[in-house]
Amino acid sequence: MSGESVMTTQRIAVPNNSARKAHVPRSPRWLVAGAAFLSTLLALPVNAAVAIPDVPLQTGNAVPPNIMFILDDSGSMAFTTMPDSVPATTPVNIATEAFTRNTVYYNPTINYQPWNNDGTRFPLTPATAAWSDTDLGSGGTISLTGSTRRFHVPNIGITDLADARQYTRYELTGTSSARSCTLNAANNWVCANISGFSWTASDGTPINRNIAEEWQNFATWYSYHRTRMKAAKAGASEAFSGLSNDLRVGYRTIWNRNNFDIPVTSNDGLFENAGASTNRETWFNRLFAAEGSNGTPLRNALNDTGLYFERTDANGPWGPESGSDQLACRQNFAILTTDGFWNGGTPSGIGNQDGTAGPTITGPDGASFTYAPVPPFTDGNSTTLADVAMRYWKNDLRPGAGGLENIVPTSNADPAFWQHMVTFALSIGAQGTLDPQTALPGIQAGTTPWPTPGANRVENIDDLWHAAINGHGTFVAADNPQVFADGLRRALAAIVERTGSSSNAAVNSVSVGSDTRVFRAIFQAGQWNGNVFAFRITNTGISSTPQWAAADGIPAPATRQIFTSVNNAGRAFVWGSLNTAQQAALNNNPAILDYLRGVTSGEERNGGTFRNRNSLLGDIINSSPAFVKDNNTLFVGANDGMLHAFNANTGAEVFAFVPEGINWNDLATLSDPDYIHRWFVDGAVTVTTRTQTTGRNILVGALGRGGKGLYALDVTTPSGFSASDVEWQVGGSDNDMGFILGQPIIVKLNNGKTGVIVGNGINSTSEKAALFIYDIEDGSLIKKINTGAGSPSASNGLSSPSGWDENSDGTTDFVYAGDLQGNVWKFDISGNGVGSWNVAGTPSGPLFVARDASNNRQPITAAPNIALDPLSFERWVFVGTGRFLSSGDLSNTDPQSLYGLIDNDAAITGRAQLMERKLVVSTGTARGFEVAGALDPSKKGWYLDLLTPPGATREGERVVSNMVVIGRVLLSPTAIPSDDPCEPGGRGFLNAMDAFTGASTESAFFDVNGNGIFGDDNIGTGASTVPIGSLDMGVGMLSSPTVLSTLGGGGGGGGCPSGMVAAPGSSGGTATVCVPLSALLGRISWREVIGD
């Protein structure tokens, strides 16, 4: 949408013709940011509030990945020490009883918990009956109180962990007695009785225990954490208990004991919710039953898992489907854990995989890949663990004629679009010769060679890291159980992130900055980055090469101009300007604020603890770029918590603003390595012209899914923006205020003020549909008109409004908007006094209620379009139905419709008062409307059900983006969500019909064949031939179209001679098609054409 909001009063008549061109760059992880996609998932029943998902609908429902967890069950896993050689202390050796040396030993600063059996923990064991088995949480017990139990804790300020004098020994000497001891000059322990214990946890939390409580904590450690195996079970059970039920998880050990392959024939293999006899319960039972013995055949274990992922049968990892019905986009992950150095078990057919070029693999849209043996992957060694990982990454696991299409989602971490195995690796206690934190740059540059591994060599831990690099996973060298548990949790989080989307490239609605430039916003799922690109427009279409990318124009953190508001007052976005509640929401950590400003030194890749970012610009999903010609600036909201202002010529960020009304607690999670997507500044942006607000440009933004409310800024001079330019904000304290997903409109009102008008959106407390009108000067509420339609048991909300100036005096007289219950409302605000403003009609009520042929209500989420018939001068209201808000909408195929309604100030009681119109012919990518003459004078408009001919098939086609009227032509974009989990982008049509008859235009409006001749593009045969009036533009589900003048173009293959329509779509591109504008228009601007 344009940054300027005006009423639709421009009336343009055009002849009929055009040419289609598609600009569809393919980029596997960039996704649509659909401003016209008013939500993120779809159809809940009318009687339920809208469930707003955390991730955008455009990403589709992710296909559950396959995860194979491989546990080391070698003999060393039963050890009670870690690492293998515990570093000693002097002058007396306390190493095995000090957690700083023996990292598996009791650490009193940890509150130990029994194993997490998927939400239900194993029982606490008393100190008199702790589990004695080194592997199991069952069997024989032992009384710990029969002998003294010791543990050594480093003193505060310790300078040498090897100096026993810098420790305090604590002794539990009986069920109710304890001592603390220090080492004297003669190296003897001097002890004193104590009555309790005080510790400080790693996060600074104080811990106070009496003797009985310390005994219980010690007993819990002894029963469930005392050995490497027990610690591994504790970490794995915590990590996997947190997994959602939409993943497929298997279990193996390196000795193939008690394996549990992904149970694809049971509930599709899903790791479903806890319960008896479920896949999840079976997985946990196998985990807790593991026991350690024998050597460490890691290479065979990983190779066996790779072979498993090569299976093609219905019982294998691609099942339960068979053959071509198996999901080609399913991803496969192996998580390999070990405490030691591999030995024995040499897999056959491996060789030097990372030192040998791979086969050429082809994929979608002409993509191809051939592995080249280059750093950091290659080495000169053969049949290593790294070679096994590379074997199953670089080769297509499902090749050939009977294989699967290569459409696996990619990421920055893993570019493989073919079926392959990703390897994650965790070392429990053992360290290699290389430090992953410091050695990686040299390995990447080829200056540091990979060490040569061999049976039982320390270099094998380097090989484990090498396997993770070759397998495009991650590696954790855990020197204590807590690091192992955290590493496993992060590996699972990385898998969830990578599989968070099965979608490919997509694009936001375009915004036009002049006759020659278009702006487009996109986002990257999983990484949750965003970008805005500027493309030049010519009469042949939109350039494929951007002039600039906004992500490249973010200034250094210290120089960025970022602002916020505190108690409605503008402030600089710096720590000292925030109030205590805002600081608390950011965990009282100034480093989080620095991170949000763009400081990267605290990211994990740089040795910190914050989430790594590939870009400082967050994902832009439902906030379309708004161009302001007055100051040559582009404004857009992002889910990094900020509204951004960019110089339209260069893409450089001019300033940013963090609204006070977003969820600041969620804002802090942006720095979390396990970040799960949240909504922040996700709503539409509107900016006034300097005629609407004399001499000033006022920006009004909705928070969208990020919060309930609006904010306003004075953006007259973006380069000089300061805290004083923060104007006002309104929030969700009003029970009728919901999440505003529609575009605010800014209009002159009949009471002399300039107003901001919005529908109240979804999920208000009252669940009613209401219209809000605010004073743009101070944000004060001028008028709220509650329609009364809706309740908590019948959820409702008012969608995007459109205004109409009835008497052409420059003020808005009527406002139209639809709601989720299918009501089309007309609000009369024509009086000079606000007391008369109300729902129009006598009695007041909806102008129309959209219902399908079965009398089911049809939701309305796009703004109505209002126009005058240039012949009869009747006022028409055009409405499309459908929603794309919650997950059920992806598969919903309830019939939706287009409506043309004559507003003669009387309610339209139903379809019986309208003329039925139809789509009559389809080739799959082109369709035609029935040919008909003038509307029956007894009818008050028309309706057309979006059903595919010839059989009136319900495909789920709907209108969720705004329509455009050009003269007598109604342009309506539609969306058909995909039910293919591997191709979630869907498709849609751009429809051109006679707005005032609901039938076909007189001749074709689209120049489909590109010959520059308008009128020869038809569909059908014989007497059934009709003009092409509906096109699948080839770019997925469509957002609102943009109409552009291209006067001077050549036609006949030389471009569009007078005009074009640009339609952005969910598959990643913007398609253009020539249309005939020049006959009556002369040179026009985009805003004049689609002025709402």
In a domain, 735, yes or no: no
User: What per-residue confidence (pLDDT) applies to 1090?
Assistant: 28
Domain match, 316 and 259 both = yes
Domain match, 219 and 285 both = no
pLDDT at 150 over 80: yes
Domain match, 167 and 245 both = no
The mean per-residue pLDDT over the stretch 238-262 comes to: 91
Domain match, 293 and 416 both = yes
pLDDT at 509 over 50: no
d(CA 854, CA 947): 14
Mean pLDDT lowest among 606-620, 656-670, 850-864: 606-620
Q: How many domains does the chain have?
A: 2
User: What per-residue confidence (pLDDT) applies to 535?
Assistant: 85
Domain match, 360 and 430 both = yes
pLDDT, tens only, 382-395: 999 999 999 999 99
Using left for φ > 0, alpha for ψ between -120 and 50, and beta otherwise, residue 762 falls in beta
Domain match, 280 and 199 both = no
- Higher-confidence residue of 306 and 1076: namely 306
d(CA 978, CA 39): 16
The one-letter code for the residue type at 507 is V
pLDDT at 719 over 50: yes
Assign 524 to helix, strand or coil: strand
In a domain, 325, yes or no: yes
- Higher-confidence residue of 330 and 1: namely 330
pLDDT, tens only, 433-461: 999 989 999 999 999 999 999 988 899 99
Q: What is the mean pLDDT of the chain?
A: 88
User: What per-residue confidence (pLDDT) applies to 660?
Assistant: 97
The mean per-residue pLDDT over the stretch 324-341 comes to: 93
d(CA 408, CA 421): 11
The one-letter code for the residue type at 474 is T
Alpha helices in 526-634 (DSSP H): 580-585, 590-597
Cα of 417 vs its chain's centroid, Å: 20
pLDDT, tens only, 815-868: 999 999 999 999 999 999 999 999 998 888 999 999 999 999 999 999 999 999
Picking from 645, 812, 819, the residue whose alpha carbon sits closest to that of residue 745 is 812
Picking from 944, 813, 801, 933, the residue whose alpha carbon sits closest to that of residue 875 is 813
User: What per-residue confidence (pLDDT) applies to 18?
Assistant: 30
160 burial via Cβ count (<10 Å: 0-12, 13-18, 19+)? exposed
pTM of the model: 0.74
User: What per-residue confidence (pLDDT) applies to 604?
Assistant: 81
Tokens of 10: 């421009």
CATH number, domain containing residue 239:
3.40.50.410
Taking the CA atoms of residue 806, residue 812, residue 813 and residue 815 in that order, the dihedral angle to the nearest 10 degrees is 110
d(CA 184, CA 728): 68
Q: Which residue has the tokens 């080839």?
A: 1034
Sign of CA dihedral 462, 467, 468, 470: positive
pLDDT, tens only, 976-1011: 998 777 877 789 999 999 999 999 998 889 998 888
User: What per-residue confidence (pLDDT) applies to 516?
Assistant: 67
User: What per-residue confidence (pLDDT) applies to 45?
Assistant: 33
pLDDT, tens only, 515-566: 468 888 888 777 788 889 888 887 777 787 889 999 999 999 999 999 999 9
Q: Which among 200, 226, 252 is the end of a domain? A: 226
User: What per-residue confidence (pLDDT) applies to 60?
Assistant: 67
Q: Which among 183, 199, 226 is the end of a domain? A: 226
Distance, first Cα to last Cα, the chain: 8
Domain match, 366 and 251 both = yes
The mean per-residue pLDDT over the stretch 493-505 comes to: 59
User: What per-residue confidence (pLDDT) applies to 1068?
Assistant: 63
User: What per-residue confidence (pLDDT) applies to 765?
Assistant: 96
Contact status, residue 685 vs residue 635, Cβ threshold 8 Å: yes
pLDDT at 692 over 90: yes
In a domain, 754, yes or no: no
Picking from 99, 95, 432, 71, the residue whose alpha carbon sits closest to that of residue 229 is 71
User: What per-residue confidence (pLDDT) applies to 1054?
Assistant: 58
In a domain, 570, yes or no: no
Contact status, residue 1090 vs residue 1062, Cβ threshold 8 Å: no
Q: Would you tell me how many other CB atoms lie within 10 Å of the CB of residue 810?
A: 12
pLDDT at 1086 over 50: no
User: What per-residue confidence (pLDDT) applies to 159?
Assistant: 95
User: What per-residue confidence (pLDDT) applies to 41?
Assistant: 23
Q: Which among 191, 226, 261 is the end of a domain? A: 226
Assign 562 to helix, strand or coil: strand
Q: Which residues does 252 contact at the CB level (< 8 Å), separation at least 6?
A: 68, 69, 70, 71, 259, 260, 261, 301, 304, 305
In a domain, 1068, yes or no: no
For the chain, give the percent of residues with pLDDT over 70.
91
d(CA 773, CA 120): 52
pLDDT winner (highest mean) among 3-7, 366-370, 638-642, 930-934: 638-642
**Ordered strands of the 969-973 beta sheet:** 919-922, 926-929, 1030-1031, 990-994, 969-973, 964-966
Q: Which residue has the tokens 């689209």?
A: 1006
pLDDT, tens only, 1022-1075: 888 999 999 999 888 998 888 877 655 444 445 787 788 888 887 767 888 988
Picking from 639, 495, 519, the residue whose alpha carbon sits closest to that of residue 56 is 639
Domain match, 208 and 242 both = no
In a domain, 559, yes or no: no
Mean pLDDT lowest among 43-47, 72-76, 586-590, 644-648: 43-47
Domain match, 361 and 462 both = yes
Picking from 723, 565, 718, 725, the residue whose alpha carbon sits closest to that of residue 652 is 718
| CB burial readout 525-559, b (16+ within 10 A) else e | bbbbbbbbbbbebebbbbbeebebebbebbbebee
The mean per-residue pLDDT over the stretch 297-313 comes to: 97
Domain extent for 114: 80-226
User: What per-residue confidence (pLDDT) applies to 96?
Assistant: 97
d(CA 74, CA 77): 6
In a domain, 401, yes or no: yes
Mean pLDDT lowest among 86-95, 277-286, 801-810, 829-838: 277-286
User: What per-residue confidence (pLDDT) applies to 460?
Assistant: 94
How many CA within 13 A on the CB side of residue 357? Answer: 6
Contact status, residue 14 vs residue 870, Cβ threshold 8 Å: no
User: What per-residue confidence (pLDDT) applies to 12?
Assistant: 24
User: What per-residue confidence (pLDDT) applies to 210?
Assistant: 97
Sign of CA dihedral 651, 655, 657, 658: positive
Assign 130 to helix, strand or coil: strand
Domain match, 198 and 291 both = no
pLDDT at 144 over 60: yes
Mean pLDDT lowest among 72-76, 201-205, 597-601: 201-205
Q: Which residue has the tokens 């040559």?
A: 632
User: What per-residue confidence (pLDDT) applies to 778?
Assistant: 97
In a domain, 1028, yes or no: no
Contact status, residue 559 vs residue 547, Cβ threshold 8 Å: no
Domain match, 130 and 236 both = no
d(CA 416, CA 982): 15
What is the DSSP code string of 987-1026?
B--EEEEETTTSS--SS-SB-TB-SS-TT--EESSGGG-E
pLDDT at 1087 over 60: no
Model confidence at 1079, pLDDT cuts 50, 70, 90, reads very low
pLDDT, tens only, 3-30: 333 222 222 222 222 333 333 323 323 3
pLDDT at 668 over 70: yes
Beta strands 66-71 and 332-338: pairing type? parallel
Domain match, 402 and 272 both = yes
